[in-house]
Amino acid sequence: MLLHRFGSICSGRRTKVVVPAFALGCSLVLMTGCAPKNEFVAPPPPSVVVAPPYQGEVTVYTPVGGQTSARDSVEIRARVSGYLESVDFTPGSTVKTGDLLFTIEPQLYEAALQSSKGQLDSANASRDLAQTTYQRNEQLFTSDAISELDLLRSQAELELSEASVSQAEAAVESASLDLGYTKIYAPLTGRISRERVTVGNLVGSGEPTLLATIVQMDPMDIYINIDERTLLTFLKEYGQKRSTDMKGSTVLLELSDGTVYSRKGRVDYVSNRLDSATGTLEMRVSFPNPDGTLIPGLYGKVLFPNTYDDAIVVPEECIQMDMTGNYVLVVNSENVVETRYIEKGPLVDEGRVVTEGLGADEHVIVNGIQRARPGITVTPQNPS
C-alpha cells in the first residue's frame, strides 16, 4: 500500500499520504535513543602564581628627625670705634682662618700708639735718672755726705719712675691692641655671611657692632632627640651594649626631598640622661661636609640601621587582614590553598619582613589571590 501511494505522488496525481501512527512513534523512539546525554563537567582549578618568600640579610632603618646645625659659629664684631674703611671678602664665600675681612680707619689708633711709645720713652729716661741718682746717693751716704732722709727720698723717686715705666708699657700694649683691632681677620674656616655694615659707616661706637657671621661647614652636625619608645626599641634590637653606648654608631641622613645624603655620619655625643620633661634622649650626629652640600637649618631624618641576618620577606601586596589578624595564602603539597597567620615586621625594599608564622619553604600566592580561597585546589605556576 505504501509503495502504491509513494508511486502515485511521483506520477503527479494529488493523492493524500497517510502515515500510520505506529510508524511515527517508532521514528521518534529511534531519534530519542541516538541523542547524547547532558552531563555537568567541572571547570579546571584556577591558576595562581606562587613563589617562596625571600630569605636573607636585610637592613631596616629607624628614622629620627632633626635639624642640621653648624659645629661652630662666630659673630664678627667691631671692637674699636671708627669708620669702616674696607670690606675685604666676597659675601657668601668660604674664608680661611687668618683671612682679612674688614678694615677700620687706623690713623687715630696709629697716632695713639706713637703717643704711648713717646710716654714710655719719657718714663724710661726718668727711671734711668732716678736710678743714677739713687746709686750716687748710696755712695754719698756711706761717707756721711748726705742724710739718710735724702737717700730714702732718692729711693722713692726710683720706685716711682719704675712704676711710671710699667704704666707706660701697658699703655703701649693697649694702643697696639686697639690698632690691631682695626684689621679684623677670620678666626675660623667657614662660610661667611654678607656684610652687615657698608663702607663709610661708623662702627663700634657705644657697643660692638655686628659686621658679619661665619659658620663652620665641615663637619655638619644634626641634633636629634630620641623618644623613649624608640630608645626601648634600640635596647631590644641593637643590644644592650650598643644602646647604652651609641657613641660612634654609623648612620645615614635622609633629606626632606627623600634623597639620602651621600656620606655616612657618626654619633659623637649622647646625653647622659633622659630629659624627664620631654621623655627624650639628646644625641648629636656629625656628617662630613667637604663640598658644603649641607647647610645649617636643614630638616632631615637620621636613619639608624638594624640588620636582620636571616629575614623572611614577602611582597607587601600578598598580605591580607581579617578579624583574626594578618595572613598570607599558601599552596600545600597537594595544591590546596591554606591560610598562614603572620606577624608583620618592618617594611624594607624587598617587601615586608615576616617575624612569625611563615617558613622559608612555603609557597606563597603572589598573583591570582582573588581567585584563591582557603580549602580549594589550585594550579600553581612559577613566576614568569
Q: Which residues of 168-201 are buried (b: 16+ CB within 10 A; e: fewer)?
A: bbebbeebeebbebbebebeebbbbeebebeeee
Does the pLDDT of residue 275 top 90, yes or no?
no
Q: By the 8 A CB rule, do 278 and 231 touch?
A: no
- At residue 347 the predicted structure's pLDDT band, cuts being 50, 70 and 90, is confident
User: Of 32-41, 136-145, 233-242, which one has max mean pLDDT?
Assistant: 136-145
Domain layout of the chain by residue ranges: 2-32, 49-57+310-381, 62-70+217-308, 73-215
CATH pick for 62-70+217-308 out of 2.40.30.170, 1.10.357.10, 3.20.20.140, 3.40.640.10: 2.40.30.170
**What one-character-per-residue DSSP string does 192-218 give?**
E---SS-TT-EESSSSPPEEEEEE--S
Give CA–CA dist 84/197, Å, rounded.
8
CATH pick for 49-57+310-381 out of 3.30.1490.20, 2.40.30.20, 2.40.420.20, 3.40.50.620: 2.40.420.20
- At residue 238 the predicted structure's pLDDT band, cuts being 50, 70 and 90, is low
Q: Which of 43-57, 116-130, 136-150 shows the lowest per-residue confidence on average (mean pLDDT)?
A: 136-150
Record the pTM: 0.64
- At residue 209 the predicted structure's pLDDT band, cuts being 50, 70 and 90, is very high
To the nearest whole number, what is the mean pLDDT of the chain? 85
84 sits in the region (left: phi over 0; alpha: psi -120 to 50; else beta) called: beta
SS3 assignment, position 283: strand
CATH pick for 73-215 out of 3.90.1150.10, 2.40.50.100, 2.60.40.10, 3.40.50.300: 2.40.50.100
What is the per-residue pLDDT for 52? 92
